[in-house]
Amino acid sequence: MMEKLRLATLWFDGCSGCHMSLLDTDERLLELTAFLDIVYSPLVDVKEFPDKVDITCVEGAISSPEDERMLVRVRNSSRLLVALGDCAVTGNIPAMRNIEGAPAMLRSIYTSGNGLQPQIPALDLPALNDKALPLHRFVPVDLFIPGCPPGADTLFTALTALIHGNTGHIALPTCFGA
């Protein structure tokens, strides 16, 4: 019996739609979990990113110093890092703010309306990078799975190929290695 691979999934600056697509594999998730242990994910209750993860799928762009630190931690603990969805692959929706930068975005959100005391909150607002950027701008990425979100069939095909170690035969013209 093949030893199960350790799978992690997480999201940074994303909408969770890519994880919804993973759930959309429906009963095929059971097929995958015959080969995979989910050791860290929004889908399971684990607080600390573990060591020695075989495959980590990352949704979302990198938008803050905290994202950067966590991404490096994840990269160092993962054998294969997968950019899951367009935000992780290109920046996509979060990167729309890059045209003007983070300070202009915050001014637009908090001070351009008709509130009585428009102001940018001084407390509890996490630090933001000026630009939201894709994963490969910070760390090496082993596989890119584009799509907003990638379809459930795409994810199932890609994960199945990764499980069996034959990514060279993934039948997806839009998948490519770093």
What is the spatial distance between Cα 55 and Cα 57, in angstroms, rounded to a whole number?
7
Is there a contact between 10 and 66 (Cβ–Cβ < 8 Å)? Answer: no
Half-sphere exposure of 110 (CA within 13 A, CB side): 13
CB-nearer residue toward ligand SF4: 60 or 128: 60
> Does residue 93 belong to the site contacting ligand SF4 (CB under 6 A)?
yes
The residue whose two tokens read 């429906």 is 26
H or E segment and range at residue 17: helix 17-23
CB-nearer residue toward ligand SF4: 14 or 170: 14
Closest CA to 174 of 138, 150, 141: 150
What is the spatial distance between Cα 169 and Cα 166, in angstroms, rounded to a whole number?
6
User: Looking at 24-32, 71-79, 87-95, 101-109, which segment touches ligand SF4 (CB under 6 A)?
Assistant: 87-95
> Does residue 18 belong to the site contacting ligand SF4 (CB under 6 A)?
yes
What minimum distance in Å lies between the beta carbon of 34 and ligand SF4? 26
> Does residue 163 belong to the site contacting ligand SF4 (CB under 6 A)?
no
How much helix, strand and coil, in percent to the nearest 5, is found in the chain? 35, 20, 45
CB-nearer residue toward ligand SF4: 15 or 106: 15
| DSSP assignment letter at 123 | S
> Does residue 70 belong to the site contacting ligand SF4 (CB under 6 A)?
no
> Does residue 106 belong to the site contacting ligand SF4 (CB under 6 A)?
no
Both structure tokens of 92 = 């996509």
Q: Rule CB under 6 A: choose which of 59, 81, 154, 156 binds ligand SF4.
A: 59
User: Looking at 11-19, 31-39, 124-132, 162-170, which segment touches ligand SF4 (CB under 6 A)?
Assistant: 11-19
> Does residue 148 belong to the site contacting ligand SF4 (CB under 6 A)?
yes
Which residues would be at the binding site for ligand SF4 (CB under 6 A)? 14-15, 17-18, 59-60, 85-87, 92-93, 148-149
